[in-house]
Structures are given as C-alpha cells and as structure tokens.
Amino acid sequence: MGMSHDFEAAVEEGATIVRVGTAIFGRGRPRLEEARGSERMFVLANVLIGVARVLEGVLFIYQWILIARAVTSWVSADLRNPIVRFLYTVTEPPLRFIRRRLPTSLRYFPLDIAFLVLFGLVIFAQYGVVQSLVDYAMVLRRQSVG
C-alpha cells in the first residue's frame, strides 16, 4: 500500500492499494507540536507589538519633555520651579553623557549640539526601532497563521 506522496514508487513495487487522501483533501490538522509552535510565535508577535507601542508612547512623551526643556531654556525660567526642576532632572543625565562624548570644539558651540543629538536619537528610535519591532512582529504573526 502506498500514500499519495509516494504512490509511483508503491505501484512500481507492486502495491494494489494507494491512499490518495492527502492529494485530494490536503494535509489534515497540524500536529500538536506544530500548533504549539505557531501559538508561541503568535504570542511572541503580540508581546513585541505591545513592547513597541509602550516604547512609542514613552519616546513620544520624552520628545515633548525635550521640547519643553528647550522652551524653558529660551525664556530663562526659574530653576526653583518644580516643573522646570523636573524637566532638567529628566533631561540632564543623557545630555551630560552626550556632551562628554562630543569633540571639544562642539561642546562650547553657541547652539547646544548635545540637545540636537539627543532629540535626533529620540526621533530615530521612534521611526527606526519601534517600527522595526512592529514589522518583525507582523512577520512572526504571518508565519504563525499561514
């Protein structure tokens, strides 16, 4: 007896009965291992989308905090104000980190280059990292479904 995928070899060997169910009806239900693997891929895809959306929200809020910091530096706001203190507390550590790594010629430039670099990194993370996570999650989801 032969199966539909090897019926030619079965007939050559003298088989009188050939099962052709797979050729007519397609593969049956997926095996348990395959189903579990696709479920894991689907869950991983959903987790990645969730992480990407949370990261997108955090970066969006941080972008507006950076804009508020720039506005307060232009108007010479009172540093004893709690809102201004919060803005400086949240933005100063990464700015200090970037300033230390800038060449000396750019550190004392009239325009704060470190601020522009940090703002560019936030924009890049929004459009590069977050979108890449979402795209990868969609690929995983398509693989798990089809």
The per-residue pLDDT for range 77-115, each reduced to its tens digit, is: 888 899 999 999 999 999 999 988 888 877 677 788 889
The per-residue pLDDT for range 4-43, each reduced to its tens digit, is: 556 677 677 777 666 666 666 666 555 545 555 567 788 8
Q: Lowest mean pLDDT: which of 29-43, 46-60, 104-118, 130-144?
A: 29-43
Q: State the pTM of this model.
A: 0.68
Check pLDDT > 90 for residue 128. yes
CB atoms within 10 A of CB 114: 20
The whole-number pLDDT of residue 20 equals 63
The whole-number pLDDT of residue 32 equals 47
Ordered by start, the domain boundaries in the chain are: 1-30, 32-145
